[in-house]
């Protein structure tokens, strides 16, 4: 079980809404938002996914002073480029793992207890859920694993419950999620 704190800020909500192409002024205009049913700025429904910003060990964010596995002078900063490595094992291993970093995202479910608002300080508690396997036609063996995250406010009340399902594949697939 892992725990982290997520301070919700209006500017972050605005940037997130822009990124998902949502022009609804309730995500950025306080004067407009006051006249709506929620009565103030709220976050778009998938916003809690941005809690990744606040997870200290999140591996899909470059960290200061640490090598990053994306490209720089070579196609990957932490692997020998494919073909250059003596036995190419790392590169092959990485290619086989689907998205090359943590597998692919298969499902995501949110249950909303209330809207997320600027000023909320959410505590995230993450625990593993079920794991199961399936045989895919093109991707080989598929291993699914579930993660459940609870977002609670400073009074301990549940705000959002999230359930994500990730999948790891044996082979790179282009059209099957």
Partner 1 sequence: MALTKSELSVGQTHSAVVVDNLSRTQIVQYAGASGDYNPVHTDEVFATKVAGYPTVFAHGMLTMGLTGTMLTNFVGDGRLLDYGVRFTSQVWPGDTLTATATVVAVEEGDGEQEEGPVVILALSTTNQEGREVLSGEARARVDA
Residue span 21-40 as binding mask against partner 1, x where in contact by CB under 8 A, dash where not: xx-x-x---------xxx--
Query: Does 15 sit near partner 1 (CB under 8 A)?
Result: yes
Q: Contacting partner 1 (CB under 8 A), which of 5, 34, 61, 141?
A: 61
DSSP for 72-123, written as a single string: SSSS-SSSPPTTTSSS-HHHHHHHHTSSSSS-EEEEEEEEESS---TT-EEE
Tell me the C-alpha to C-alpha distance, in Å, between residue 101 and each of 69, 93, 98, 166, 167: 9, 11, 8, 11, 11
Task: Give the side-chain half-sphere CA count within 13 A for 176.
Answer: 15
Query: Can you tell me which residue has the tokens 């892992």?
Result: 2
- Give residues 137-156 in contact with partner 1 (rule: CB under 8 A): none
Q: How many residues bind partner 1 (CB under 8 A)?
A: 59
Query: Does 70 sit near partner 1 (CB under 8 A)?
Result: yes
Dig out the tokens for 171 from the structure: 């082979």
Q: Contacting partner 1 (CB under 8 A), which of 2, 5, 71, 132?
A: 71
Binding site for partner 1 (CB under 8 A): 12, 15-16, 18-22, 24, 26, 36-38, 42, 44-46, 49-54, 58, 60-62, 69-71, 75-76, 79, 81-82, 91, 94-95, 99-102, 104-113, 115, 163, 172, 174-177
């Amino acid at each position: 079980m892992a725990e982290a704190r997520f301070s919700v800020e209006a500017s972050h909500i605005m940037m997130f809404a822009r990124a998902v192409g949502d022009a609804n002024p309730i995500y950025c205009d306080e004067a407009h938002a006051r006249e709506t049913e929620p009565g103030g700025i709220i976050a778009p429904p998938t916003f809690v996914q941005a809690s990744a910003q606040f997870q200290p060990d999140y591996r899909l964010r470059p960290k200061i002073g640490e090598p990053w596995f994306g490209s720089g002078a070579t196609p990957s900063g932490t692997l020998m480029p494919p073909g250059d490595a003596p036995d190419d094992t790392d590169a092959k291993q990485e290619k086989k793992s689907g998205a090359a970093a943590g597998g692919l995202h298969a499902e995501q479910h949110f249950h909303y207890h209330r809207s997320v608002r600027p000023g909320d300080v959410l505590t995230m508690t993450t625990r593993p859920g079920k794991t199961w396997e399936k045989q895919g036609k093109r991707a080989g063996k598929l291993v699914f694993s579930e993660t459940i995250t609870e977002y609670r406010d400073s009074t301990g009340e549940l705000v959002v419950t999230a359930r994500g399902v990730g999948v790891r594949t044996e082979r790179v697939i282009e059209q099957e999620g």
